[in-house]
């Protein structure tokens, strides 16, 4: 059996009792470590589980999944995923099906629901978008049209931000040196800047630098932190937010009084927040 | 401290290790039991936790929350919620804040992410809607416009279905008898019928009886079951799906080949599914 086990969002104790039982009795344990991270190190997990863990990087999961699935018809293999394993790694599940390996998922908290702690109604979120690190020559902006669609019907948008782990520099790659760059985690500030950059380029009014948003850090953890403000304000609140992981929510017009009351607690400038809320958000739908 | 503890979706072992620690050491433990249910009884939870649990019905939470919050400034109170506590019970949290009671949330799996097990990409879901039991004179249809909005931009819609627990008949209420009706849980079939009824009335083409959808039962549990078909087909698959809880996903046009491959496994009529998919869904966006 292949078990996809969600680890939740924060530390070693966020695993479910069911998930912990699976990890303890599995023949092999893999940790998917390239789409998200926990706020604790692998060694903490290994000690807590009493098991050693093999790190599954993108290459192993996408090109070498038969290694993970080896013998899984007769043995139990645990594949650990930060957050919730739902819909991630569909390719792995489809491959397991082809090999007639039974698959079971052990759900856990996801950023898609954990973000509700910021006080916005989860029911009013539209599609989720991802923001990657821009380079001088590569600024993928597919997020823009999606946000525009969400906002056209009044919905909030969760923006998940890029992480880069186990990346090689072009030079090291060219020379075949297996030396990896230090991991990089996008901040809310970088995300907000890139959003404003694309709006300035496209000028289609999907949002403005005065649009209201919430910066989130370490959602689901003890040091969880939210900061609310305009996109422009969020360009310079990274220090307030602290260490990764970050994510950002751009507000839609379909807002509720209860949401206001809850979210304004996080506003960097409450009077400005109230003013823009009243003008552009309250009772728009 | 007020702890809002998510229980996950299925049974007693879906609680996180962190949540279980909170439950074991809290002064009082409440279980919110009117918006969703686990697939196991209260007694199973009590035995597993080694604690007795007070059931918090809607009246207690909405009108009498100070009883729950009593002394929570100096004691720990655990308020258990099926699924994930994010954004549910905002009113309780706001009341706690007014009383200067610190609040912490212990996240868990939510139906909003658990539904990803059906194979559709969670990123492509729009706003979530709720379906209540229609009566002869009361057929609230606000879900219809929301679905229409989601579909206008190609997104899937999760439809959460009604549950009725601890309801009184009008006769018993009039006579002041505290006798409650047996609990009722809406099925996918009832939900699909009500959706078609409203489309037939409004004729705005938000969807048709031939629109593709997925019926889901006991998401996140060992007996989790999905059935895929047209809305019309889903009117008569309740036996296949089995016991509650049910929910339904109406597909949006923004679909991906990987989703097709995964979801068609659940189709009641694979050829029909393929035909409609090819005609109305594939490569529409």
Q: Same domain, yes or no, for B116 and B253?
A: yes
Q: Look at residue B166 in the predicted model and tell me its pLDDT.
A: 76
- For the ranges A31-45, A166-180, B265-279, the maximum mean pLDDT occurs at B265-279
Q: pLDDT band for position A283 (50/70/90)?
A: low
- Domain end call among B75, B109, B143: B109
Q: Are residues B96 and B147 in the same domain?
A: no
CATH number at residue B171: 3.30.950.10
* pLDDT of B243: 95
- The model's confidence at residue B87, banded by pLDDT at 50, 70 and 90, is low
Q: What is the band of A191 on the pLDDT scale with cuts at 50, 70, 90? A: very high
SS3 assignment for A119-180: CCCHHHECCCEEECCCCCCCCCCHHHHHHHHHHHCCCEEEEEECEECCCCCHHHHHCCCCCC
| R_g (Cα) of chain B, nearest Å | 21
Question: In terms of domains, do A151 and A165 share one?
Answer: yes
User: Of B109, B124, B149, which one is at a domain's C-terminal end?
Assistant: B109
With CB atoms and an 8 Å threshold, state whether B107 touches A9. yes
Can you tell me the mean pLDDT for A161-186?
A: 85
More confident residue, B262 or A157: A157
Q: Residue A36: what pLDDT?
A: 81
Q: Read off the tokens for A66.
A: 């038969």
Q: Please give the mean pLDDT across all residues of chain B.
A: 92
Provide mean pLDDT across the span B153-178: 88
Per-residue pLDDT at B46: 95
- B129 has a chain A CB within 8 A of its CB: yes
Do residues A191 and A125 share a domain? yes
- Regarding whether A265 and A173 lie in a shared domain, the answer is yes
Task: Return the pLDDT at B165.
Answer: 83
CB of B9 within 8 Å of a chain A CB? The answer is yes
Asked whether residue B230 carries a pLDDT value surpassing 70, the answer given is: yes
Instruction: List the single residue in B with minimal CA-CA distance to A157.
Output: B126
In terms of residue numbers, what domain contains B130? Answer: 112-281
Rounded Cα–Cα distance for residues A66 and A20 (Å): 24
Question: Cβ–Cβ of A16/B126 closer than 8 Å?
Answer: no
Distance CA B233, CA B262 (A): 19
Using pLDDT thresholds of 50, 70 and 90, give the confidence band for residue A3: very high
Residue B285 has pLDDT above 60, yes or no: no
More confident residue, A58 or B106: B106
Task: Give residue B283's pLDDT.
Answer: 67
Note whether B102 and B144 are same-domain residues: no
CB B189 within 8 A of CB B235: yes
The CATH number of the domain holding residue A71 is: 3.40.1010.10
Average pLDDT of chain A?
Answer: 92
Task: Show which of residues 62-101 on chain B sit within 8 Å of chain A, judged by CB atoms.
Answer: 84, 86-87, 90-91, 93-94, 97
Confidence (pTM)? 0.92
Residue A87: band (very low, low, confident or very high) from pLDDT cuts 50, 70, 90: low
pLDDT score recorded for residue B12: 95
Asked if B249 and B159 touch (Cβ cutoff 8 Å), the reply is yes
> A200 and A119: one domain?
yes
Q: Encode pLDDT of A117-147 as tens digits.
A: 898 999 999 999 999 999 999 999 999 999 9
Tokens matching residue A171:
């030079």
Q: What is the per-residue pLDDT for A284?
A: 53
Closest-CA residue of B relative to A159 is B123
A9 in reach of chain B (CB within 8 A): yes
> Cα separation of B98 and B93, whole Å?
9
Query: What is the rounded distance in angstroms from the CA atom of residue A123 to the CA atom of residue A102?
Result: 33
* Domain total of chain A: 2
DSSP B129: E
Mean pLDDT along residues A150-175: 89
Residue-wise pLDDT for B252-261, tens only, equals 998 888 888 8
Regarding whether A118 and A98 lie in a shared domain, the answer is no
Q: Are residues A36 and A164 in the same domain?
A: no
* Among B88, B109, B130, residue at a domain's last position: B109
Task: Give yes or no: residues A119 and A59 share one domain.
Answer: no
CA dist., res. A100 & res. A88, Å (int) = 20
Q: What percent of chain B has pLDDT over 70?
A: 99
Q: What residues are paired with A5 via a beta bridge?
A: A80, A106
Q: Residue A104: enclosing H or E segment and its boundaries? A: strand A103-106
B84 lies in the same domain as B138: no
In tens, the pLDDT along A35-84 reads: 888 878 899 999 999 999 999 988 888 888 999 999 999 999 999 999 99
Residues B133 and B14 in one domain: no
């Amino acid at each position: 059996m292949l078990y996809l086990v969600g680890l939740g969002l924060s530390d070693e104790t966020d695993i479910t009792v069911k998930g912990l039982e699976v990890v303890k009795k599995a023949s092999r344990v893999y940790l998917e470590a390239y789409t998200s991270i926990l706020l604790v190190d692998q060694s903490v997990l290994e000690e807590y589980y009493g098991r050693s863990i093999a790190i599954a990087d993108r290459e192993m999961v996408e090109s070498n999944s038969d290694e993970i699935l080896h013998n899984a018809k007769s043995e139990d293999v645990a594949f650990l995923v930060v957050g919730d394993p739902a819909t991630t790694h569909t390719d792995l599940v489809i491959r397991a099906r082809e090999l007639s390996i039974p698959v079971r998922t052990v759900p856990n908290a996801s950023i898609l629901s954990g973000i509700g702690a910021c006080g916005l109604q989860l029911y009013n979120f539209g599609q989720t978008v991802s923001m990657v690190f821009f380079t001088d020559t590569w600024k993928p902006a597919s997020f823009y049209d999606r946000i525009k669609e969400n906002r056209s019907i009044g919905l909030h948008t969760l923006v998940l931000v890029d992480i880069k782990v186990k990346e090689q520099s072009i030079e090291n790659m060219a020379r075949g040196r297996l030396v990896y760059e230090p991991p990089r985690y996008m901040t809310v500030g970088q995300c907000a800047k890139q959003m404003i950059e694309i709006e300035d380029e496209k000028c289609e009014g999907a949002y403005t630098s005065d649009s209201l948003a919430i910066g989130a850090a370490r959602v689901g953890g003890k040091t969880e932190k939210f900061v609310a403000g305009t996109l422009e304000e969020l360009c310079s609140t990274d220090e307030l937010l602290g260490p990764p992981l970050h994510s950002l929510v751009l507000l839609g017009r379909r807002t509720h009084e209860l949401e206001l009351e809850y979210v304004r607690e996080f506003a960097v400038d409450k009077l400005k927040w109230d003013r823009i809320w009243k003008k552009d958000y309250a009772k728009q739908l």
